[in-house]
Amino acid sequence: MRDLNYQLKQLCHRNRDGSYATQARRMHHLMLIANQLYALGYHKMQARSLKPKHVEALVKYWLHQDLAIGTIKNRMAILRWWAEKVNKQNVVARSNDFYGIPDRQFVTNDSKAREVTAQQLDRISDPHVRMSLELQQAFGLRREEAIKFSPDFADRGDHIVLKSTWTKGGKERTVPVRGDEQRAVLDRAHRLACKGALIPAVRNYVQQLRVYERQTANAGLSKLHGLRHAYAQTRYEELTSWKSPAAGGPVAKVLSPGQKVLDRHARRTISLELGHIREQITSVYLGR
């Protein structure tokens, strides 16, 4: 293991801020950042040798990768955590504007919905990863929720229950089982996981996350958060009988008073099913 990877791992072990899931994500991203710095030519870095030039090189690399703005901002937060823990807070500028990182565009009527086809699933050799993708698509789950998913616990017949330890924000929630297709996905999950989760006994969550990332990348699958967008848009049409603005449906200002009542109800329902507190966040998925 390279010095920087080792020292960042030790830094994480000494500073256990946040939930176990937060710690695991931080460790994963720091290892990724260390590998990227090595690839960018910084071969003899130590944890305490972080400098502005390293931050600028990383941001330039990320922007050229065409990553989602939210992803870049999350990585910047992790860089600031690293800098703080080695008492080099001034190495990373306080504002992302300094690096030319644009603001997130939260409300848009351009659809970001994605689907994973049967042919694409066939490219995934790990059955647990394939099953997690099926659950993401069928129930609009986040990646972590789908990896940690235990069908024996979650399946309650007409709905599934997601444990607080699986979810972002640590809040348990339910998602309805609405049809035969979702039921078939759950039945396959039961056969694969039996009484356990969609993580093989020989791996922990972080190890399975790495398998997931490697397998999906090798299969040419990206922007899989779009599966949640597709779920939200499908649910909106079910609940209102018309398409959401992002899927080509009418925008809010042309809805009748009765339609606006249905629109608000659908958005509140979808927000809860996706695990969001604020109804306004549905504009990211549905448009406005």
| Tens digit of each residue's pLDDT (9 = 90 or more) over 211-236 | 999 999 999 998 899 999 999 999 99
Q: Looking at the structure, do residues 270 and 251 belong to the same domain, yes or no?
A: yes
Q: Looking at the structure, do residues 38 and 79 belong to the same domain, yes or no?
A: yes
pLDDT at 255: 96
Question: Dmax over Cα atoms in the chain, in whole Å?
Answer: 64
Q: Which of the listed residues 195, 218, 241 is the one where a domain comes to its end?
A: 218
Structure tokens at 128: 């647990």
Contact 73, 104 (CB under 8 A): yes
Q: Looking at the structure, do residues 94 and 10 belong to the same domain, yes or no?
A: yes
Q: Looking at the structure, do residues 63 and 94 belong to the same domain, yes or no?
A: yes
Q: Looking at the structure, do residues 230 and 171 belong to the same domain, yes or no?
A: no
pLDDT at 104: 67
Q: Looking at the structure, do residues 173 and 214 belong to the same domain, yes or no?
A: yes
Query: Could you give the number of structural domains in the chain?
Result: 3
Q: Looking at the structure, do residues 253 and 214 belong to the same domain, yes or no?
A: no
Angle between helices 3-14 and 20-39 (to 10 degrees): 160
How far apart, in whole angstroms, are the C-alpha atoms of residue 159 and residue 176? 4
Q: Which of the listed residues 197, 218, 239 is the one where a domain comes to its end?
A: 218
Q: Looking at the structure, do residues 25 and 86 belong to the same domain, yes or no?
A: yes
Contact 80, 89 (CB under 8 A): yes
* Burial class of residue 178 (count of CB atoms within 10 Å of its CB; 0-12, 13-18, 19+): middle
Q: Is residue 210 in a domain?
A: yes
Structure tokens at 36: 């990227």
Q: Is residue 117 in a domain?
A: no
Return all residues near 74 (Cβ < 8 A) that are at least 6 apart.
Answer: 29
Beta-carbon count within 10 A of 89 CB: 11
Q: Looking at the structure, do residues 8 and 85 belong to the same domain, yes or no?
A: yes
Q: Is residue 235 in a domain?
A: yes
Q: Is residue 167 in a domain?
A: yes
Four-point Cα dihedral 78, 82, 84, 89, nearest 10:
-90
Q: Enter the pTM of the model.
A: 0.69
pLDDT at 134: 98
Distances (CA, A) of 266 to 60, 182, 249, 281: 40, 20, 14, 13
Q: Is residue 256 in a domain?
A: yes
Q: Where are the alpha helices (DSSP H) in the chain?
A: 3-14, 20-39, 52-64, 69-85, 118-122, 127-139, 143-148, 151-154, 180-193, 205-218, 226-240, 257-274, 282-286
Strands 173-176 and 159-162: antiparallel
Return all residues near 287 (Cβ < 8 A) that are at least 6 apart.
Answer: 107, 108, 109, 110, 111, 244, 245, 246, 247, 251
Kindly state the helix (H) or strand (E) to which residue 165 belongs, with its residue range: none
Q: Which of the listed residues 41, 65, 99 is the one where a domain comes to its end?
A: 99
210 alpha-carbon distance from chain centroid: 14
Q: Is residue 107 in a domain?
A: no
The DSSP annotation for 85-125 comes to HTT-GGGS-S-GGGGTPPPP----SS-------HHHHHT--
Residue type, 261: V
pLDDT at 278: 81
Q: Is residue 116 in a domain?
A: no
239 alpha-carbon distance from chain centroid: 25
Beta-carbon count within 10 A of 220 CB: 8
160 alpha-carbon distance from chain centroid: 19
Residue 18: give the domain boundaries. 3-99
Q: Is residue 182 in a domain?
A: yes
Q: Name residues of the chain where pLDDT drops below 70.
A: 66, 104-108
Contact 153, 161 (CB under 8 A): yes
Q: Looking at the structure, do residues 94 and 129 belong to the same domain, yes or no?
A: no
Q: Looking at the structure, do residues 69 and 9 belong to the same domain, yes or no?
A: yes
Q: Looking at the structure, do residues 178 and 159 belong to the same domain, yes or no?
A: yes
